[in-house]
Amino acid sequence: MAIIVQREGERAKIVSKSSFPNEAELQRYVYENPEVIPISDIKEDAQFIVLDKETPVGTGFIDILGIDSEGDLYIIETKLFSNPDKRKVLAQVLDYGAAIWSAYQNPEGFLRMLEERLAERGESLSELLSFGEASEIEVGIKECIQSGSFRFIILMDQVPSALKDLIQFVNSHSNFSVYAVQLEHYKDGDLHIFVPHVFGAEERKRGNVSSSGKKWDEASFFQDLEGRTDARTVAAVRKLYEFSKERADEIGWGRGTGTGSFNPRFRYIAPQSLYTVWSNGRITVNFGWLTGDRAEDLRERLRTMLKEIPALTKYIPDKGSKSPGIPADAWVPVCDEFLATLDRFLAYAKAIFGQIDGGSQKIK
């Protein structure tokens, strides 16, 4: 398949499929650009980060180790179609999962191992987990290891038909979560284009297998919120929830085992949620889920607007796509100002996409 690209003011042209020279280069690129992994197709509303690469386990080295905001661990193996060992890759990733499960029946040892490896790079586990509820993520990691309920991703430039069939069979008849991601790569000068395809996700969505965590809803969320926080926080979160229900296309509920969450989705902005609200009163602003042609513009506009609220300034990063957390004691006292800011941002986004779609709204 060829991709057609057209830059503003230039003629459209066909970009042919490119390839990575070797598996090491594919692994490096995915490690440095985890956004190319379509996590939202695997687990809706999951925030995802890469923790480590070449992680040692008893049977070898995990190419890439990732984690989501609920503590689920992702064991990712990168392979090129040209590799003669590609038929063994499913057994390889399952072997890695078994090695972690066997070696770390006390998950504290796994966390210590991660801390030591991250410290060698000048990083810390607590800093990396700041994209969500760090304590809850650590609880999720421990539960994931003890149950062996890892998520396995085989990422290739081309997924063989036999592997697709095998993954569909495994997901339909076991409690494993195995996915293949075919990552098509196109290159035009310094522009890299990726087209990911996920195989195995449909079997999970059909409900033929069990999944970890619990499914929250409005009643359980607010019951948990009332048990954790004070009346002022409950009132502010309720106001934010009603604001979200009125303006969002839909609201998704989290599956965290310890802390509930809801995720308002504004489809004209992005497929994933703009922000996540937790049942301990904390809010996560999902800059990383603002994607598409206007992503950088939207991030900067939202960043600038939020920084105009003095109580929130220190929580908002100056740049990048990290998803900062804002504690209840910071945003609750300025709840009305926060909601007004969100309202202005949503109006700005609607104006942008209204213009793109040929609408008459103007950006102010």
Q: Say what the pLDDT of residue 81 is.
A: 92
Q: Say what the pLDDT of residue 187 is.
A: 86
Structure confidence by residue, pLDDT tens digits, 326-343: 999 999 999 999 999 999
Q: What is the dihedral angle through the alpha carbons of 332, 337, 342, 344, rounded to the nearest 10 degrees?
A: 180
- Please give the Cα distance from 315 to 125 (Å, whole number): 19
Asked whether residue 364 is domain-assigned, the answer is no
Residues 179 and 93 in one domain: yes
Read off the amino acid at residue 276: T
- The CATH number of whichever domain residue 187 belongs to comes to 3.40.1350.10
Asked whether residue 79 is domain-assigned, the answer is yes
- Please give the Cα distance from 330 to 310 (Å, whole number): 10
Q: Say what the pLDDT of residue 214 is.
A: 65
Q: Is 2 exposed, middle or buried (0-12, 13-18, 19+ CB in 10 A)?
A: exposed
Structural tokens at position 134: 């760090």
Asked whether residue 213 is domain-assigned, the answer is no
Residues 200 and 277 in one domain: no
The length of the chain is 364
Residues 147 and 257 in one domain: no
| pTM of the predicted structure, to 2 decimals | 0.70
Residues 224 and 346 in one domain: yes
Residues 196 and 242 in one domain: no
Q: Look at the chain and report how many structural domains it folds into.
A: 2
For residue 186, the cross-strand partners are: 17, 193
Give the angle subtended at the CA of 45 by the CAs of 294 and 337, to the nearest 5°: 65
Full domain range(s) for residue 165: 3-205
Yes or no: say if 197 and 181 are a contact pair by the CB < 8 Å rule: yes
Residues 103 and 184 in one domain: yes
Yes or no: say if 245 and 263 are a contact pair by the CB < 8 Å rule: no
- Other C-beta atoms lying within 10 Å of the C-beta of residue 183: 21
- Complete edge-to-edge strand list for the sheet that includes strand 283-285: 250-253, 261-265, 275-278, 283-285, 325-326
Residues 183 and 319 in one domain: no
Residue ranges in the chain modelled with pLDDT below 70:
1, 132-133, 203-214, 257, 321, 355-364
- What distances in angstroms separate CA 140 from CA 92, 153, 258, one per listed residue? 24, 19, 8
For tokens 């410290």, what's the residue? 119
Structural tokens at position 362: 């103007």
For tokens 């607590």, what's the residue? 126
